[in-house]
Structure 1
Amino acid sequence: MKYVKAENVLPPSLVSEIQKYVQGETLYIPKPKSEHLKWGSRSGTRKVMDERNAEIRTAFRNGKTIHELADDHYLSSETIKKIVYQKC
């Protein structure tokens, strides 16, 4: 997390108002909800998992068993069931 000095980005009147509540402390101001990224979207992990899950669903529709898929992907049978029976 990068720290920014309030005096460098906020108008003096707002800094004075904030100082009524917090002085000399670190204050975290979160992003608006609309700016939040879904888990894994920045690193690409989400895309990789979505592709893996699509591959698992296709293999299941083509006749592979839950147990075979679990062994192939090093996942538990319960996890495979969640993937193949998930409503898309």
Structure 2
Amino acid sequence: MAYIKATAILPEKLLSEIQKYVQGETLYIPKSEKVTKKWGSRSGARKLIDDRNKAIKEAFKDGQPIEQLAKEYFLSMETIKKIVYTR
């Protein structure tokens, strides 16, 4: 994370207001929730897991036993149960 001088980007009025609370310290300002992306959305991992879970649910509906799904997808039986029994 690169540091940016507050004087270079903040209006003088805002800077003087912030100085009432903190001076000469490092201050972290987090991203707003609107900008923050959910886990895996950037890399595509979330979509892969969602697609896998959908395939597991479909296979379970088609009669494939939990034990077989666990072996096929290299997951525990408890994880398969969580996937197939949640909406």
TM-score with structure 2 length normalisation?
0.88
Structure 1 residue runs of 4+, over 4 Å off?
none
Aligned to 2:54: 54
Alignment of 1:54-73 (within 5 A): 54-73=54-73
1:33 equivalenced with 2:33 (yes/no):
yes
CA deviation map 1:19-42 (0-9, x unaligned): 121112111112222222121111
Which residue identity is paired with 1:6? Answer: A
The share of aligned pairs that are identical, in percent, is 60
Q: Output the aligned Cα RMSD.
A: 1.3
Aligned residue pair count: 87
Identify the residue that residue 76 of structure 2 maps to in structure 1.
Answer: 76
Residue 86 of structure 1 corresponds to which residue in structure 2? Answer: 86
2:27 aligned with 1:24, yes or no? no
1:75 positional shift:
0.8
Distance 1:81 1:3 in 2: 47
State yes or no: 1:43 paired with 2:47.
no
State the distance in 2 between where 1:4 and 1:72 align.
50
Q: Deviations over 1:10-68 (max 9, x none)?
A: 10111111112111211111222222212111111100100110111111111211111
Question: Is there any run of 5+ residues in structure 2 with no aligned partner, and where?
Answer: none
TM-score, scaled relative to structure 1: 0.88
- CA distance in structure 2 between the partners assigned to 1:3 and 1:76 by the alignment: 45
How much does 1:4 deviate? Answer: 2.3
